[in-house]
Amino acid sequence: MNPAQKALLEKRDGWDVGRNPRAVSRDELIAAGHKPMSAQKALRLRCLDCCVGSANEVRLCTAVSCPAWPFRLGSSPWRPPASEARQEAQRQAGARLALRQSPPTVHRGETQERAAPATTLPAEPSPRPDAQRERAFQTQATRSAEVRR
């Protein structure tokens, strides 16, 4: 343990105990090797540590009584869903980012133009794949019946 890490401990009844993190300065934490991060990311990293660095094992974790279990994949199940306005703002930001990152398409004899922005997600979710297959099967059966007539 280096001296900066030792500074995060204090003696209580002759034993080393961790200091109250609210009484530790940001500079002391950084000197001890901690990096500024969200609590969400810290929980995710703790889960990875518990599962020996295997993201797949974190995903398959069965320790459902662990307080970090709901947060193990890096998101909070307790956060309310984003509003429609927020979702639309995220779609637009994603489209702008895709436009900036995509290389322009130039064909012979054309001028260099920016590529079209990425398509946005539909407002309503698409029907279930099973329903699509069912409709396709029904359409095919209808065509077969018409051909037989």
Q: Which helix (H) or strand (E) holds 84?
A: helix 84-101
Q: What angle do CA 75, 81, 86 make, to 5 degrees?
A: 105
**Comparing C-alpha atoms, which of 107, 125, 106, 104 is closest to residue 115?**
104
Of 79, 5, 66, 8, nearest in space to 40 by CA? 79
Distances (CA, A) of 111 to 96, 114, 141: 21, 10, 49
Q: What are the domain boundaries of the chain? A: 1-36, 39-99
The DSSP code sequence of 5-23 is HHTTEEEETTEEEEPPGGG
- pLDDT tens column, 90-111: 999 999 998 888 766 666 666 6
Q: What pLDDT, in 10s, does the model give residues 21-47?
A: 899 999 999 999 999 999 889 999 999
pLDDT averaged over every residue in the chain: 82
